[in-house]
Amino acid sequence: MDITAHIEYQGNLRTKATHIRSGSELITDAPVDNRGKGEAFSPTDMVAAALGSCILTTVGIKAMDAGFSIDGADANVRKIMASDPRRISEIIVEMNFPSRDYSEKIKTIIKNTAKTCPVAKSLHPGLKQTMIFNFL
């Protein structure tokens, strides 16, 4: 079995995750509203950020294959928590695509690709995913 990441608990509600293939490391902290320091991404922040990153990555792949560019695109991600049980109830991803005079066909390709990225398809169906597309 190939290992994707190794996670070490470092105390005080902090972990260090190491990506096995690259050696890249990241730190997580529990959020301030759940007894943490909030000095780094929380695990639920990473889930929300993963959705935004996955969307831009898969749209970028589709753009390369279809002969258009999304270079300069960005996304702002907002995570909304619920309680009882504590969980992510909604992730809002607002994407900004630079002015490229995209056709309606390309805009549809972007939207459909975003909604079917692997992270979007992996999240629980009860987690609301709101995607906002701004074509500047």
Mean pLDDT of the chain: 96
Q: What is the pLDDT of residue 1?
A: 75
Tens digit of each residue's pLDDT (9 = 90 or more) over 100-121: 899 999 999 999 999 999 999 9
Q: Which helix (H) or strand (E) holds 121?
A: helix 118-122
Range of the domain at 30: 5-34
Same domain, 27 and 85: no
The answer, as to whether pTM is greater than 0.85, is: yes
Strand residue runs (E) in the chain: 5-11, 14-19, 25-29, 74-82, 87-97, 128-135
Tens digit of each residue's pLDDT (9 = 90 or more) over 18-46: 999 999 999 999 999 999 999 999 999 99
Same domain, 19 and 68: no
The count of domains in the chain is: 2
